[in-house]
Chain A
Amino acid sequence: MTATVDPALLADARRERRFFLSLSLPALFIVGLAAILPILWIIRQSFLTTGGEYTVGNYAKVLSSGLTWSALVTTLELSLGTLAICIVLGTPLALALASARPRVANLLMAFVMLPLWTAILVRTYGWLVLLRRDGLVNAALTGSGLTAEPLPLVYNFTGTLIGMVHYMLPIFLLPVYAAMRDIDPNLVRAAASMGATLGQVIRTVIMPLSAGGIFSGSVIVLIYSIGFFITPAVLGGGKVNPLSTRIERALSTFQDWGSASVLGILLLVLMALIGVMLLAARRLLAQDAVAAAHA
């Protein structure tokens, strides 16, 4: 025997669902206004001449320019370099934080987070003070006799990379640290009791279980660094020109909205491509996890 559902109760349930869905409306509205509309507008701009007529000339001009492709390469070098250094520096750091006693971990975490509470421009100029020819780092290096000449640490690719890593590292660290802290310490103990060395524990238990966090961190780092502007502009000294500085130049120097829009679309496509590649990589990682136990 099935009881008939009281329509009044059914309506209540529906009303409740609708209420909770409606809570997302303000956010949806803002996303629509601040993200989707501008993108549509950029796409439209990319097909218009400065006079306002339809053209594909902007694409032809931008895509045939060697500067665009070198900017694309610079963008990729900067973001992948930043990501690589973040993974190499951040993963062990996250592991150290996650295995430290809570009080120590909180203190270390405060230090790691400190840069995030400082304005990016201040930090970037801070690096300038540290890294330039007569800066603190070079003074220490030459003063101690480690190097005869000051090293070219800023106004180049190295300086830009240092500034970007400094900005991205805490952001990368957060999801990785969260994933590692969530690992049941008994899993580590269990692995050790069965004979696993520390290296084996890290490889077969900790890394597979924090892969999700490393993945999230990597996505955030890539998406941020593909569009990075201030750091290359200040620390690159005009020699490091990723797509973002090209866009800025197209606008401020040439008032060329068409080219700037094409470059912007190029950035979007790049992000989408990297997103798809990362998703594929994650699927592979998940498949490997079981096999890794036997490796």
Chain B
Amino acid sequence: MTSLPITIDSVSKAYGSYVALDDVSLDIQAGEFLTLLGPSGSGKTTLLMALAGFVRPDSGKLLLGDRDITRLAPNKRDIGIVFQNYALFPHMNVLANVAYPLALRKTPRAEARQRALATLARVKLDGLAERNIAALSGGQRQRVALARAIVFEPRVMLMDEPLSALDKNLRETMQYEIRRLHDDLGITTIYVTHDQREALIMSDRIAVMNSGRIQQIDTPQRIYDRPSTRFVAEFMGEANIVAPGSVRRIDGAEASGETLMIRAESFHLDAELVGADGVALEGTLRAKAFRGENWLLTLALDGGQEVLVCIPAALAGGCAELAAGQRMTAYAPAAKVHAIPGALA
């Protein structure tokens, strides 16, 4: 199947005085896996539903390839959708659910059946074709929803928090499987989630949204390491935003005058592990917590600001003996210290 690029051009949508989408523009390449990431109310689902045709934008354009779909009816868009609650038809069995889009397209019954079965095999549901929806587990329903969304070979796939109802282990398995399915089919996919780990694991690019705007769009690594705003920095993980005055260079050189972002896990307690161009933060240990794979230390800098320091358990030989109130220094390598342009925004 040929997948298509998507262009979102200055799309806005307001509900009364509440602005759900504020002049959003976004280009998604053909075959790309793009994630819309943001907290609830950030506009990510509204944007997805606008693409699907269930939300009518107030202004702006939506293009599928070079075709304007802004005013096209949802059933003419040829977009596969996986809904958050799966939206499987409870009055049809698994096979009928998956064959439904083919039946709508007047596919001959035998061919529809054969294609539906092949798609079910693809999502590892062989043998469950005759089951009732009510008799399926959450993970199986998820797979039926996937099969139903891809069986008619749509040119674009939209997924609205498809894994949020699954338990943690199953969610992780499905993350890899959905990504693998995407790679096999090469279908342009827009994926909505509020789980930053999920976004990092699955995406080619992530668009971080907040208050109806796209804050930053980039590869997972750059979004994580080089956030362009304080919101992105803090949403993506345990980030410390440090004022220029609280940091000194290890080699004594003049420290940068900018506001810095240092991730909690970038710190070491041993200056040897950090280059001479790294930075040092001094303060008093406020609290410590053992989290299994790491220790989380809360350090109160002399200026009063609190900094989170995360030390992998394998490297944290002395952490258990640390006592609250004790003076200590945390070090971070220069490569992990990122100046935020719009830090106070």
Interface residues in chain A, defined as those with a beta carbon under 8 Å from any beta carbon in chain B: 184, 186-187, 189-197, 200, 204-205, 208-209, 289-290, 293-295
The contact of A191 among B78, B100, B109, B152, by CB within 8 Å, is: B100
B92 and A289 form a contact (CB under 8 A): yes
B276 within 8 A of partner (CB): no
From A191, A204, A209, contact of B90 by CB (8 A): A209
Bound form: Cα–Cα A289–B133 in Å: 14
Where the two chains meet, the residues of B that have a C-beta atom closer than 8 Å to any C-beta of A are 52-54, 73-81, 83-85, 87, 89-93, 96, 99-101, 103-105, 109, 112, 148, 152
Q: Are the CB atoms of A290 and B75 closer together than 8 Å?
A: no
Residues of B within 8 A of A293 (CB): 89, 92, 96, 99-100, 103
Query: Is B52 touching A193 in the complex (CB atoms < 8 A)?
Result: yes
Question: Which of chain B's residues has its CB closest to A193's CB?
Answer: B81
Tell whether A189 pairs with B83 under 8 Å between CB atoms, given A195-B75, A195-B101.
yes
Chain A contacts for B100, CB-based, 8 A: 191, 194, 204, 293
**Does A196 lie within 8 Å of B89, measured CB to CB?**
no
Contact check, A194 vs B90: say whether CB atoms are below 8 A apart: no
Query: Given that A193-B77, A193-B79, A194-B101 are known contacts, is A184 also in contact with B93, CB under 8 Å in the complex?
Result: no
23 example contacts (A-B, Cβ-Cβ < 8 A) are as follows A186-B83, A186-B84, A186-B85, A186-B87, A187-B89, A189-B74, A189-B81, A189-B87, A190-B83, A190-B89, A191-B100, A193-B74, A193-B75, A193-B80, A195-B105, A200-B104, A290-B91, A290-B93, A290-B96, A293-B89, A293-B99, A293-B100, A294-B103
Interface contact A184-B87, CB-CB below 8 Å: yes
Compute how far the CA of A151 lies from the CA of B318 in the bound complex, rounded to whole angstroms.
100
A83 to chain B, nearest CB (A): 23
Nearest chain A CB to B62's CB is how many angstroms away?
15
Q: How far is the CB of B95 from chain A (nearest CB, A)?
A: 9
Residue of B nearest to A183 (CB): B90
Whole-angstrom distance between the alpha carbons of A191 and B112 in the complex? 17
**CA distance in complex: A291, B80 (Å):** 23
* Nearest B-chain residue to A188, judged by Cβ: B87
What is the bound-complex CA distance between A208 and B105, given in angstroms? Answer: 20
Distance A194 CA – B79 CA, assembled complex (angstroms): 7
- Bound state CA distance, A193 and B74, in angstroms? 6
CA distance A62 to B52 in the complex (A): 66
B132 CB to nearest A CB, Å:
9
Task: Give Cα A204–Cα B101 distance, bound, in whole angstroms.
Answer: 11
Bound-state CA distance A196–B152 (Å) is 13
What is the CA–CA distance of A184 and B85 in the complex, to the nearest angstrom? 10
User: Interface centre among A184, A187, A200, A293, by most B CB within 10 Å?
Assistant: A293
Q: Given the complex, which residues of A lie within 8 Å of B76, measured CB to CB?
A: 195
Please indicate the chain B residues that have their CB under 8 angstroms from the CB of A193 in the complex: 52-53, 74-75, 77, 79-81
- In Å, the complex CA distance between A184 and B77 comes to 22
Q: Give bound CA distance, A205 to B96, whole Å.
A: 12
Q: Which residue of B lies closest to A293 (CB)?
A: B96
Bound together, the chains give a CA A290 to CA B109 distance in angstroms of: 14
Closest to B96 in A: A293
Given contact pairs A289-B92, A293-B92, A194 touches B87 in the complex (Cβ within 8 A): no
Please give the distance in Å from B103's CB to the nearest CB on chain A: 5
Write the chain A residue with the least CB distance to B109.
A294
Query: Is there an interface contact between A205 and B89, defined as CB atoms closer than 8 Å?
Result: yes
Name the residue among A189, A194, A196, A208 with the largest chain B CB count within 10 angstroms.
A194
In the assembled complex, the Cα of A209 lies from the Cα of B133 at a distance in Å of 14
Residues of A within 8 A of B148 (CB): 190, 194
**Is the CB–CB distance between A209 and B91 below 8 Å?**
yes
Question: Please, which residue of chain A has its CB at the minimum distance from the CB of B80?
Answer: A193
Contact A192 B85 (CB under 8 A): no
User: In the complex, which residues of chain A have a beta carbon less than 8 angstroms from the beta carbon of B83?
Assistant: 186, 189-190
A195: contacting residue among B54, B91, B96, B152, CB under 8 A: B152
Residue in chain B with minimal CB distance to A294: B103
The contact of B74 among A184, A186, A192, A208, by CB within 8 Å, is: A192
CB proximity of A157 to chain B, nearest CB, Å: 38
A115 to B105, CA, bound (A): 45
**Cβ–Cβ < 8 Å partners of B77 in chain A:** 193
Residue of A nearest to B151 (CB): A194
Complex Cα–Cα for A184 and B145 (A):
15
Chain A residues closer than 8 Å to B85, beta-carbon distance? 184, 186
Contact of A196 among B75, B84, B91 (CB under 8 A): B75
Which of A189, A204, A208 makes the CB contact (< 8 A) with B52?
A: A189
